[in-house]
Structures are given as C-alpha cells and as structure tokens.
Amino acid sequence: MRKVAVAGIGLIKVKEYWDRPIGSLFQEAAYKAMKDAGTNKIDSLYVANMSGALMQDQLNMGTVMADVIAKPGLPATRIEAGSASGGVAFHEAVKAVASGYSDCVMVGGVEKMSDVLPEVVTSSLVMSEEQEYTAYTGVTKAGLSAMLHRLYLDIYASPEEVGMMAVKSHDHAVGCRHAQYPFKMSIERAMASPMEADPIRMMECSGIGDGAAALILVPAEDSGVEVAGSAVATDYCSLAQRDDPLTFNAVKTAADRAYKMAGVKPSDINLAEVHDDYTINGVLSLEALGLVEQGKAAKLVAEQGTARDGKIPTNTMGGLKARGNPLGATGIYQVAEVALQLRGAAGDQQIEGAEVGLAQNMGGIASICAVNVLRRLA
C-alpha cells in the first residue's frame, strides 16, 4: 500500500447561494484545488453529496460534476452516507491512491440547501434513520439528538456546559474566510435562544447553508500532509438497539482503526475537527474519539480545554455550527481544515506546532462514522 498525501485544497465560503446552481459551486472548489495542487491531470473523481436527489431532483451526481469541471470520460462516483458522505468519500479516495489504482484523485463534496424549504431539509436529515421503525414516528434528527442531550444533562453536565460547544465554535470562526457565521456568541445568547427540541436551543444547532470543498490526493513523498490513517465504521441505526446510547460506537471503532493505522494514540492528536451539528453530538464525539473520558467532555469545553490554546484544540475554524454544515461537503471541509493547519496555512486560526490532526464526520445519530488522521511530513 502506498502512502497518500493531500496535494491540493479548494474551499468556497459556506453561505446561501441563491443565484448559483449546484454545479457552479463544485466547479469553483474543484478548480481551486487543482490550482493549489499545480495540476489538472486527475484520473478519477469522487463526489460526496447527500441530498441532491431530494433538493435538486438530481441523481448521477458524479457524472454531472465531471461535466461541470470539463472532464468527460473521467471515472466518477457519487458517495452517499448521510451527513458522513464527505468523510466516507475521502476514505474511498484514499484507498484508490493507496492501492495504486489511481495516481491523482479529486474528492469533493457539494450541497445546495437554500433552494428548498426548511421542512425539506428536516425530512432529508431524518432519511438517514431507519424508516420502518424510527422515522415513520415523525421524530426528527433534532428530536433524536435531544433525547441524548437530556440523558447527558441528567447524568453528567449542565445545559451551559454543553452549550459552550457552540460558543467555542463561534470563537474559532472569527476571521475564517470560508465560515458561514464568523462572529462570537455568548453562552447567555445561546441559552436564551428559542427551543429547537427540548433541551436543545436554536443556537446549539448548525444552520442551513450551501457549500463545496475539494481535495487532490496523490502518492506521498517526503514533505507535505500525509493521510496517516483512515477508517469507516457503522453502528445500529436505532438508538433503542444500542447498549448505551451515550456511547457512539461507530465513532469509537473508526477512531481505533484510524489510530492503529496511523500508529498514534489519542494523546498524540494536536487538533480535532468533530461533528457538532448539535452541541451534544460534538460533546459525545470528543468522548468516543478517546480525547476525553466519558461524561467529561462538556466540562472540558466549558473550562476552555478545546480552545486554540487548550488541551485539544477543536473545530478550529468554526466546526459545523459556525463554519457551516453543507451536509455532503462537511466532511471534506473538515479534512481540508486539518490539512491547512498541518501546512501552517490556517491564518488567524493556526494551531502552532500542529503535527497530527483528525477529522470525524458522522451520519445519522452516529450510525456511520469516518475518522481520518492526517500527519505533517518533514
């Protein structure tokens, strides 16, 4: 197996693009990535997209995006794994280069959510849940997350401690050029915002936004950013089937596999991009990744442990909450942000001396998760 490196990065600002079709968003990110890599000679394409079939009435998204970047004839595959589509697509692209099957792969993610009504977005999100026994009840993803949030508050933490996950994400987004919401937010504002699904408040949820991100992967040389470990794992879709709903087993399994592949321990991680579509999911992800003991992540966040100068800098460019959560593209944004940190090109968000970082992207209520560990080469 060959080592794999991130050679090119292309990001667009997450926002509502009322005047642009989905293809133009992907095109912009893809061309930026190719320019950054210094090549347009890609030999395969992976496109992460969650909801194009529902929001744009568009299937065959791989072919469509090969067309918009003027690459007809290119083998192209659309990857869908709920909100984990980006992380899973990256994993598949890594395997293509590592195996020797491809030498220069583009993996990108794109989602355009502003074209549809909010209830369509809500319906799309719950489509990641099992339909016959869970989604048919009318429960939403916010509602399922709220069940976990309530249980966590009953056992481990206060609402303000969990809510600090959102506050820190906003702190980190300030100055980030591709962030959707690059402004500070106080815990008082978060706790005073309207209730979304008791006990989750509106300012503890990621918003609706459009975005696209692309990466170029090539065989690694002696410098740059290496993909040190990459893994995907699943869990029961239904929370009712799990031994402990507050333990994200898919996250834990994927992380353990990625750590083993990379030859690192959780204590070796210098920064993490975690899936905080709701504050509780970010808190539980930190614990499942082994970055903090179970039940202690909310207190770690509240005590500034995830700040840029904290024990484990987390969501260094705003995370899903403040950078934005364009579903299928989110996992690509996460990996790109880790790569920028390891390049030393993160600007105001830079974590000094960062050598190893991870991106954790999950679908459903942690029913599938991709964990990708990146390392800075000398």
Instruction: Report which residue type is found at 7.
Output: A
Rounded distance between C-alpha atoms, residue 199 and residue 213, angstroms = 32
Rounded distance between C-alpha atoms, residue 74 and residue 244, angstroms = 44
Q: What is the pLDDT of residues 123-141, one digit of tens each?
A: 888 899 898 888 889 999 9
Is the peptide bond prior to 313 cis by the omega test (within 30 degrees of 0)? no
Rounded distance between C-alpha atoms, residue 107 and residue 66, angstroms = 11
- In tens digits, the chain (378 residues) has pLDDT values of 899 999 999 999 999 999 999 999 999 999 999 999 999 999 999 999 999 999 999 999 999 999 999 999 999 999 999 999 999 999 999 999 999 999 999 999 999 999 898 888 888 888 998 988 888 899 999 999 999 999 999 999 999 999 999 999 999 999 999 999 999 999 999 999 999 999 999 999 999 899 999 999 999 998 899 999 999 999 999 999 999 999 999 999 999 999 999 999 999 999 999 999 999 999 999 999 999 999 999 999 999 999 999 999 999 999 999 999 999 999 999 999 999 999 999 999 999 999 999 999 999 999 999 999 999 997
Instruction: Report which residue type is found at 171.
Output: D
Polymer length of the chain: 378
* Helices 141-155 + 159-173 axis angle, to 10: 120
For each of the domains in the chain, give its residue range(s) and CATH number, in order of start.
4-117+209-217 (3.40.47.10)
Rounded distance between C-alpha atoms, residue 274 and residue 315, angstroms = 6
Q: What is the pLDDT of residues 23-47, one digit of tens each?
A: 999 999 999 999 999 999 999 999 9
pTM: 0.97
CB–CB of 229/375 below 8 Å? no
Instruction: Report which residue type is found at 252.
Output: K
The maximal CA–CA distance of the chain, rounded, in angstroms, is 56
